[in-house]
Amino acid sequence: MDSDDESFGEHDSGNVSSGDDDFAMDVDINNPRDRGQETDEYPYDVLTTDEIVQHMVDCIKDVNTVVEIPATITRILLNHFKWDKEKLMERFYDGDQDKLFKDAHVINPFRKPSLALKPKIKKSRTEDCEICYSTFPPSMMTGLECGHRFCTQCWQEYLTTKIVEEGLGLSIACAAHGCDILVDDVTVMRLVQDPRVRLKYQHLITNSFVECNRLLRWCPSADCTYAIKVQYVDPRPVVCKCNHVFCFECGENWHDPVQCRLLKKWIKKCDDDSETSNWIAANTKECPKCNVTIEKDGGCNHMVCKNQNCKHDFCWVCLGSWEPHGSSWYNCNRYDEDEARAARDAQEKLRSTLARYLHYYNRYINHMQSLKFEHKLYAAVKEKMEEMQQHNMSWIEVQFLKKAVDILCQCRQTLMCTYVFAYYLKKNNQSQIFEENQRDLETATETLSEYLERDITSENLADIKQKVQDKYRYCEKRRKVLLDHVHEGYEKDWWEYTN
């Protein structure tokens, strides 16, 4: 990269490495490198912010050696194609180049500029700025290849607003009304003088590069500034240098055995339903005609659906049509009519659906909360490890306690995800085997958790190691059995899902 390199040559990455001061920071609740199966043949690199910037510069250079256009334009074109170099090359050589540059909102560098785009300089050797309507010498005016020129101060204020207030990076368009030509990064860095604004712009460019590039993903852990770079996208676990384990494809915490699409569907459902579902179950009913949820806010049992397309009149008590109730509504003398019975059946079906959701949701949340509580075990385990070291045990010999908590957290994470998988799973013979494996893992996990929380402090030091190892090894075994069974089901198409 030529002059364009200077824009990022002094880039302040803002990268903060995670320290190892806190014992709990070494936690790896679901480290796939320990399991070996998921990360086989899935290479990836963990990049610092400076390495990300260098990777971006290298991508631009790779393209420039072939297409031979200005690096600033190359950056905009790559961003337009989400940094897919092969796709850009294909369009550049096989397609309509004029359309390519137009779609990317840049001026075709191979076309000579039109005379109409030349600056309008008066006889007094001055130009008018069409933003502030002041007159300036040409040296104080600047513009893009589109020919729109404004004074330097107006450009600075315009770019500062776009960067600081709107958070725009490579998508800043020309300041002229109706012009969609993008401002290149060299122009921005030349015009913007405030170091804080320049730094913000550099961070926006870097962030845009990662988020647009399908082979890169920021680590989702709080305050982590590392990114993961892969060779191809796959729903596989990756481990950041901060020890956070997540799925590269969807960015969520590693969620084996449930697939990304089902987890995304579950998270959306929980966001929509979980806060109000208990209250709805206790305080509302559904309109027997359109199934809209209705709250009874008065003593009268004559209900009128508020859905503008329904307006159905029905009885709150029996859910039958209101019309045959007449003046004796309080006796509900039509309670056993076929219409009322059908309405009650529909109501019961909806209630059953809600009860089923709550069954899986409550267990999902319970393991999520238990997982948070398990992290407190690291403090207690650390004290026990220090006590053991005072009784002639080496640091390596006492690591079994930390490993036990690591495995406990792995099991909690897996169990949490199994309830998402089970919610969408249709019943068959294999699903029954899955539920048995789930039960066995849950029982083993609770046994290990209870021992570590309650019994470990009262046990003789000599007996602890064997008991802990026996329990966490059994948990590991049950977890592997469950995951292997689910993965085998994926390969053999055992699993069918509800809508």
- Which residues lie below 8 Å from residue 293, measured CB to CB, with a gap of 6+? 280, 284, 285, 286, 287
Query: Length of the chain, please?
Result: 499
Range 57-66, long-range pairs (CB < 8 A, 24+ positions): 57/1, 57/5, 57/8, 59/83, 59/85, 60/1, 60/4, 61/1, 63/88, 63/89, 64/1
Count the alpha carbons within 13 Å of 110 in the hemisphere toward its beta carbon: 11
> Is 240 considered catalytic here?
no
Distances (CA, A) of 435 to 294, 355, 419, 423, 440: 36, 18, 10, 11, 9
Compute the CA torsion angle 195, 199, 205, 207 (nearest 10 deg). Answer: -160
Task: Give strand pairing partners of 173.
Answer: 182
Report d(CA 447, CA 471) in Å as an integer.
Answer: 8
The answer to whether 441 and 282 have CB atoms below 8 angstroms apart is: no
Place of tokens 């008066």: 122
Q: Which helix (H) or strand (E) holds 469?
A: helix 461-492
β-strands 149-151, 302-304: how paired? unpaired
- Which residues lie below 8 Å from residue 5, measured CB to CB, with a gap of 6+? 57, 71
Amino acid at 212: C
Of 300, 332, 409, 475, which residue is the catalytic one? 300
Q: Give the 3-state secondary structure of residue 315.
A: strand
Could you give the residue ranges of the DSSP H alpha helices within 161-194?
A: 185-191
Amino acid at 59: C
**DSSP-derived secondary structure for 63-106:** HHHHH---HHHHHHHHHHTTT-HHHHHHHHHHS-HHHHHHHTT-
Report d(CA 88, CA 76) in Å as an integer.
Answer: 11
Distances (CA, A) of 393 to 26, 208, 390, 462: 21, 51, 7, 10
* Closest CA relative to residue 478, chosen from 441, 438, 445: 441
The answer to whether 48 and 225 have CB atoms below 8 angstroms apart is: yes
14: left (phi over 0), alpha (psi -120 to 50) or beta: left
The answer to whether 468 and 381 have CB atoms below 8 angstroms apart is: no
Catalytic residues: 300
